[in-house]
Homo-oligomer: A and B are copies of this chain.
Amino acid sequence: MTVLKPHPDRALPADPAVRALAREILAATRDLPLLCMHGHVEASLLADDLPFDDPARLFVTPDHYLTRMLISQGVPMEALGIPGRDGGWVETDPRAIWRRFCEHWHVFRGTPTRFWLEYELLEVLGVSGLPSAKTADPLYDEIAARLAEPGFRPRALFERFGIEVLATTDPAISPLAEHARIRDDAWPGVVIPTFRPDSLLRLDAPGWREEVAALGEMTGVDTGSYAGFLDALRARRAAFAKAGALATDHGHATADTTPLPEAEAARLYADALAGRPYGADAFAGHMLHVMAGMSAEDGLVMQLHPGVLRDHDPAVRAAYGPDRGFDIPIAAEFTRSLRPLLESYGRHPGLTLVVYTVDETTYSRELAPLAGVYPALRLGAPWWYLDTPDGLRRYREAVTDTAGFYNTTGFVDDTRAFLSIPARHDLARRADAGHLARLVAEHRLGLDEAIETAVDLAYTLPKRTFTRSRPAGGQ
């Protein structure tokens, strides 16, 4: 069993001369704060500031990156503490769950999960070794002891991580009570919501009518008509903005943004209210166009995450719920899909649209060419299955030629695992330092420029991208 204390040079290029440059570039980003402009940590974690649960419930059961790998190797969900809806047996002993994970440590070789967990265990928690069948029990005890210390509560870690701002993701009808509790508190940490209206924009989403009714009630706007629906959405966007939100987030199956004639949209809406949710795909595409228009008005940065087929195995969803690792990418298309939105708002000074993809083929073919000309468009960081050492490298190699560095957002961590936040920023900074170092070594960039660019990617660009009013004519 190798104990691999995260090496200072981890994930940097192997060539000695390039590595030396990469070290120097990386050093310039070491003390920058973390901007966490998009993620899925719950606000309650920081509102409550309770100690974390045991190692299994912290690291294993809720992390779909990790459970999916164990499932792929034949471990049943139940053995990882995920209860089936049939009410059958489920492992309740966290130590047993932890052991199962530790016994499978080798299957994570070469994966980002392994990379992040090393950092979390050794750097964040400071434990003495890595998982294995033999170390499972002592490691469990060591972690459990750490989690009981006050220095390992969420707020203390938030501060230790150097998080300047943490954006959560919240349903449009969330009352944002946890965010209010944090604001009203003496604690100075900045935790802001992100407006995510997906389920409201899909006429055929389960419970859509109930959610529309709740939206109406919450805003005091009559959502019985399409016009009222739009007004209510505007009201919620304003409420989010007031609570500090800088952005919206949209997770659609495709990037289609074709607007419908107003009357047609109103008719589909009315039909859905009447229990006939026809044309849900067309309405969803239409609403992306509408959302872009609202962003151009209210300045909330619009984020789009298309191209994932959710719940590939519906039986898993039915038995164990969503987010169990069964979301699988499909081929994405942006050139034609984004065209209607970009025709309308692509050169509008009020809009910033950030697009993420899990289909690498669109980097050089569609996204870099689009982001390299439309002032409203910025390319998001490599998403999900691509947020990896090699994925981050391939992203820079594929998009920089045509989009440069300054039409990208810089790093966006996009995680629900709080402890992995610094690990992910660390990895992204290493990957960018490695890429920039290669440009310097190949005499394509000066070292001073590379250092400045590294700082921009880690800090300046996310900050500049996620502001509510983009300066016209600025970079």
User: For residue A316, which residues in chain B have a CB less than 8 angstroms away from its CB?
Assistant: 347
Give 24 pairs: A residue, B residue, CB < 8 Å, sorted on A.
Answer: A6-B443, A10-B443, A14-B17, A14-B18, A71-B373, A72-B374, A72-B407, A73-B407, A73-B473, A74-B471, A106-B453, A107-B405, A109-B404, A109-B453, A312-B335, A329-B365, A329-B366, A329-B369, A360-B361, A364-B386, A385-B401, A389-B401, A390-B400, A391-B401
Assess the A110–B74 pair: CB atoms within 8 A. Answer: no
Which A-B residue pairs are the 10 nearest by beta carbons? A2-B446, A7-B443, A14-B441, A388-B401, A10-B443, A110-B400, A68-B373, A74-B473, A107-B406, A74-B375
A404 touches B14 (CB 8 A): no
Oligomeric state, in copies: 3
Find out whether the CB atom of A313 lies under 8 angstroms from the CB atom of B342.
yes
Q: How far is the CA of A75 from the CA of B401 in the complex (A)?
A: 20
List of B residues within 8 angstroms of A76 by Cβ: 473
Cβ of A111 under 8 Å from chain B: yes
Q: Are A361 and B365 in contact (CB under 8 A)?
A: yes
Q: Give, as a whole number of angstroms, the nearest-CB distance from A364 to chain B.
A: 6
- The answer to whether B385 touches A364 (Cβ under 8 A) is yes
Q: A274 near B: Cβ within 8 Å?
A: no
The verdict on A86 contacting chain B, using a C-beta distance below 8 Å, is no
Query: Nearest chain B CB to A357's CB is how many angstroms away?
Result: 9
Contact size class for A? 35 or more
Residues in A367-422 with C-beta less than 8 Å from chain B = 368-375, 377, 385-386, 388-391, 394, 397-398, 400-407
A107 touches B475 (CB 8 A): yes
**A370 touching B328 in the complex, CB below 8 Å, given contacts A74-B475, A359-B365, A449-B109:** yes
Known contacts A401-B112, A404-B110, A73 near B475 by CB under 8 Å: yes
Q: Given A11-B444, A17-B16, A335-B312, check contact A69 B404 (CB 8 Å).
A: yes
Bound-state Cα–Cα, A360 to B108, Å: 22
Any B CB within 8 A of the CB of A206: no
* Chain B CB within 8 A of A256 CB: no
A9 within 8 A of B: yes
